[in-house]
Structure 1
């Protein structure tokens, strides 16, 4: 009798049975099984290795029709990702761990949906996944299964309800679009108002600055005009003073030298004589003497 050879991959584990009794769990590797024979008075124990897949796998629960809390029939499909963590429990605790997992997820989904209204299902689909994980994880661990993920794959409603929901969704999308449009218009108007206010503020500042500059220019011109007028007046005053001083000097010279005054009078008379219409007025004192001669020209 030849020995049998069994190769276990990393993706599996092997349950080693001797005469139907589980002896050990084998990991990946090559194993030699002793031949089996029976001589009547002596026989070799029968050895058997059962392989269990320990990879992550998907289990799909399709088309479960369930009534919600508000008595609406929905059809739901759920996908569950699981892995065998205890090969001995997976084979010994239940007849078929995949069938048992299917039933447990199905019942958990029914319990969860029965306590949820339709609106709650639509707005919070994650709640169903959370309920399934919470209800099934502990139960599945008893027969060696770890639930990694449970999600709602499909959620189908009755035909008339589906149509109504489509209309509701379309109305919601329309209202959202209108809301976005209204918000956009409001933001544009707000930006426009801010821009206009800023422009008016800048214009007002520019006008105020221009008025300030104009006022400063006027003040400067007025100040400079006053300074120039004061300088002109000062020059005129100095000129008048100078003229008075010169007249005073002339008068003093005529006083000191009467002959110069007589020469000035004679020069005046000669100028008057050149004009035919010139007239001479003489002031006579009480003694009949001429004290002053005055002439004019017509």
Structure 2
């Protein structure tokens, strides 16, 4: 009789231990636990560490609180200035209220993904091409605000949204390349014209100075000959001063002196 009682006690003890082990749970440091008892949330959110639930009655749902990096698939749209583009982005978010993330929305990851795609298409339609290419910080802030507004009720906080890439049609890329090339050519022509204008002014000033001093023209001629001879060319081009031609022309126009009269 005593042996049967001991056996029964051991069996009851083993059953109790097994029952307690069946209700034992471990929550990791980056997780929080939400306990459902007969379909209702009971108690506060369970903290990391060891915890227990009632087997067959309670159900523990663990929620990851780490930052989630979710890429937003490329969305195609038409900008406000009627340019077709494809834009993809990435959103960083994390759960701040584990109970709300489980109770208020069926799948918070899928909900954030769909909201991000819808918001990205809306941003494309409200923006111009130049804003998408050069003013991304402002667009990122607007996109983050659009996603974060409904996500607050889901227990989710949007940390950051970044536009990764803006894809343009090939025809638009060629048009932009031609425009940039034309703009660079325009600036080059303006710079060359300005240089010609400054050089012409300096040459005019030099001509005025040389006209006052005829010897300066001869010195300049000698300098030019020296510069050309230093190049060691087989052909030497020698400038001929116009003043010398004018001197010879005047000498020919003068009448010859009268012959001397004899005694």
TM-score range, shorter chain: 0.5 to 0.7
Tell me the equivalent position of 1:6. Answer: 25
Please give the alpha-carbon distance, in whole angstroms, between the structure 1 residues aligned to 2:29 and 2:182: 54
The alpha-carbon distance between structure 1 residues 161 and 53, as it changes in their structure 2 partners (threshold 3 A), is same
Segments of structure 1 that go 5 or more residues without pairing to the other structure are 37-45, 190-298
Task: Identify the match of residue 99 of structure 2 among 88, 95, 100.
Answer: 88
Selected match of 2:148 from 137, 158, 163: 137
Q: Please tell me whether residue 25 in structure 1 is matched to residue 45 in structure 2.
A: yes
Q: Distance in 2 between matches of 1:93 and 1:168?
A: 52
2: CA distance, partners of 1:94 / 1:35? 26
Matches of 2:77 and 2:177 in 1, distance apart?
21
* 2:145 pairs with 1:152: no
What's the CA shift for 1:116? Answer: 1.5
Distance 1:176 1:139 in 2: 50
1:107-149 deviation per Cα after TM superposition (whole angstroms, max 9, x unaligned): 2222222121222322312232121112221211111111110
Cα distance change of structure 1 residues 11 and 155 upon mapping to structure 2, 3 Å threshold: same
> What secondary structure is seen at the aligned counterpart in 2 of 1:66?
strand
The one-character-per-residue Cα deviations of 1:166-224 (angstroms, maximum 9, x if unpaired) are: 4445666x579969xx7xxx9xx9xxxxxxxxxxxxxxxxxxxxxxxxxxxxxxxxxxx
Alignment of 1:115-130 (within 5 A): 115-130=126-141
What's 2:260 paired with?
Answer: none
C-alpha contact (below 8 Å) 1:68/1:114 kept by paired residues: yes
What is the rounded CA distance, in whole Å, between the counterparts of 1:14 and 1:120 in structure 2?
44
- How far apart are the structure 2 equivalents of 1:12 and 1:169? 53
Could you report, residue by residue, the CA deviation over 1:50-97 in whole angstroms, capped at 9, with x for unpaired residues? 110000111111111111112221111110010100111111111111
Partner of 1:15: 34
Deviation at 1:151, TM superposition (A): 0.7
Offset of 1:101 from its aligned partner? 0.9
CA distance in 2: counterparts of 1:57 and 1:175, whole angstroms: 48
Quick check: 1:57–1:81 contact (8 Å CA) kept in 2? yes
Matches within 5 A, 1:66-81: 66-81=77-92
Equivalent in the alignment of 1:163: 174
Residues 34 and 41, structure 2, Cα contact 8 Å, conserved in 1: yes
Residue equivalent to 2:121:
110
Alignment match of 1:56 (pick from 67, 71, 82): 67
- C-alpha contact (below 8 Å) 1:13/1:25 kept by paired residues: yes
Structure 2's unaligned 5+ residue stretches are: 1-14, 199-263
- The structure with the largest alpha-carbon Rg is 1
- Please state whether the residue corresponding to 2:73 is helix, strand or coil: strand
Distance 1:164 1:13, change over 3 A: same
Of the candidates 65, 88, 101, which is equivalent to residue 76 of structure 2? 65
Residues 178 and 149 (structure 1), Cα distance of their counterparts in 2 relative to 1, 3 Å cut:
farther
- Normalised to the residue count of structure 1, the TM-score between the two structures is 0.53
Partners of 1:108 and 1:176 in 2: CA distance: 40
Tell me the equivalent position of 1:268.
none
Provide the alpha-carbon RMSD of the alignment. 2.7
> Whole-Å Cα distance in 2 between the matches of residues 169 and 94 of structure 1?
49
